[in-house]
Structure 1
Amino acid sequence: MAGARSALWSLTMTAVLVGLGLAVIAVSAVVAHLTVGLPIAVPISVALVGCLAFAVGLRLLHRGWWLTLLSVLPALFVLVGTVQLAPESVLRERGVAQQVTITDVQTVGKRHEFVLQGDTGRLDEPLVYRGSSPGYRVGQRLTVLVDPRGEVELADAQDVDPAGKRGMLVLGAAGWTLLALVGGWRGHVSRARGRAATAPPVVF
């Protein structure tokens, strides 16, 4: 009976953890969409808190650190997917495509601001790239998507891929689900062994 109760408890906690992971993804995605136009720190903070909550739950379920460390990879998919899906979806839905030419660039550290010239004049908003190798050059022609409401930064049309971000969320959810199942099983086995080791000897 004790073993059956333990198995049921492990199964229930595993299901709860899987549900938590899916809830984190759903809530983070909704918050990201609702806060479009606000500082990006808002959806990032919500997603980070959710990822941390899942990691803590997995640690309690499995009683080991290695699965918790492995959960970092799907957490990155969840974080990037939820934060970038909202603005890219906005640009895909209502963004206006414009053919532009890069006429100048201003660099501060790893932040590159490319000045854009369209068919009707210079764009008020630059193309921003954060990193060491932007891959753009002065004189280059490209297509950008501009949010007519000005809530989302313009972006290179080739980089706007909401479907890819949804795929990242699916990978993150699949990874968390797999780790929760493994953690639930190994945690159950570990607790069963602990009970067997502490059980009183049978006297005949």
Structure 2
Amino acid sequence: MRPQPTPAPAVPMAGARSAGTSVGWTLLVVLLGFLFAGLNTVLAYVTLGLPNAIPIGVGLVLCLAFAVAVRLLHRAAWLSWLSILPALFVLVGSVQLAPEAALDRRGVRQDVVIVDAKAVGKRHSYTLSGPQGQLTEPLIYAGSNPGYQVGDRLTVVTDPEGVVELEDAAKVDPAGMVGALLFGLSGWTVTALLAGWRGHARRQRGRHDDLVI
């Protein structure tokens, strides 16, 4: 009987990783998401009273960095684009939590009536009058369809330290900002886990980085 030829050893695909290595990189991307969200939240607290452009700008860079990390983990682009949706919740929650929490903790509530309104583009400014007379600080709304009119009565919250802008009391919701932040982080976590699984499979098959799947 002829001896059977010894089968050639399997040659691993270029770029293939062990399952343990893929799990490690996936967990690293998940932790990066939590780190980025935490850093931007802390930055918003530190810069409280300064223009929101600071934490917004840094937050956008961190969200972009997370999308790049997902792209590298996945070896494809569609999940990095998908990470933009939860990134919006992370950005809003991390930026707005600090001022909302400050107003909720130390803010003073006042019942007021709108006595005048001005608009420049999409920036609406409402002059308010309370029991002690006209307030020095207006109510500002940036956007379309503000929903306020002269003569409307509402309750506002003012910061006695003058750091945070006056806000409609009905819209002061730090718990909602925490919820937005956690929702965004949950989306990032699912995205990273899916990217890790798909990326591991792509590397095992020798598939290279592309724009689609």
Tell me whether the two structures share a fold, i.e. TM-score over 0.5.
yes
Kept in 1: contact 2:17–2:200 (CA 8 A): no
- What SS does the corresponding residue of 2:205 show, helix, strand or coil? helix
Cα shift at 1:34:
0.9
The aligned amino acid for 1:36 is L
Matching residue of 1:85? 97
Match of 1:121 among 124, 128, 133: 133
- Given the alignment of the two structures, is residue 49 of structure 1 paired with residue 47 of structure 2, yes or no? no
The one-letter code of the counterpart of 1:40 is: N
Q: What is the DSSP-based 3-state SS (H/G/I as helix, E as strand, rest coil) of the residue aligned with 1:145?
A: strand
Q: Distance in 1 between matches of 2:142 and 2:59?
A: 21
Query: Amino acid of the residue matched to residue 86 of structure 2?
Result: P
Query: How many residue pairs end up in the alignment?
Result: 195
Q: How far is the alpha carbon of 1:5 from its aligned partner?
A: 5.2
2:22 maps to what in 1?
Answer: 10
- Structure 2 runs not aligned, ≥5 long: 1-9, 208-213
**Offset from partner CA, 1:102-131 (integer Å, 9 cap, x none):** 000010000000000010011001000011
Q: Quick one: distance in 1 between partners of 2:36 and 2:51? A: 20
> What is the SS of the residue equivalent to 1:194?
coil
Q: Partners of 1:55 and 1:66 in 2: how far apart?
A: 10
Q: 1:26 aligns with which of 38, 41, 51?
A: 38
Give the Å deviation of 1:8. 1.5
**Distance 1:5-1:131 versus aligned 2 partners, 3 A rule:** closer
Residue 108 (structure 1) aligned with residue 134 (structure 2): no
Q: 1:35 aligns with which of 47, 58, 67?
A: 47
**TM-score, with structure 1 as normaliser:** 0.92
- The answer on whether the counterparts of 2:17 and 2:204 sit within 8 Å (CA) in structure 1 is no
Who is 2:7 aligned against?
none
Q: CA deviation at 1:50?
A: 1.1
TM-score normalised by the chain length of structure 2: 0.89
Cα shift at 1:47: 1.0
1:198 corresponding residue in structure 2: none
Partner of 1:200: none
Query: Which structure exhibits the higher relative contact order, with contacts defined as CA atoms closer than 8 Å and separated by 6 or more residues?
Result: 2
Give distance in 1, aligned partners of 2:55 and 2:205: 42
Aligned to 1:96: 108
Structure with the greater alpha carbon radius of gyration: 2
Deviations along 1:143-196, one digit per CA (max 9) or x if unpaired, are 00000111111000000000001000110110000000000000000000118x
1:54-65 aligned at under 5 Å gives the runs 54-65=66-77
In 1, Cα distance between the equivalents of 2:53 and 2:146? 23
Instruction: Report how far residue 132 of structure 1 moved.
Output: 1.3
Q: Which has the higher helix share?
A: 1
Deviation at 1:63, TM superposition (A): 1.0
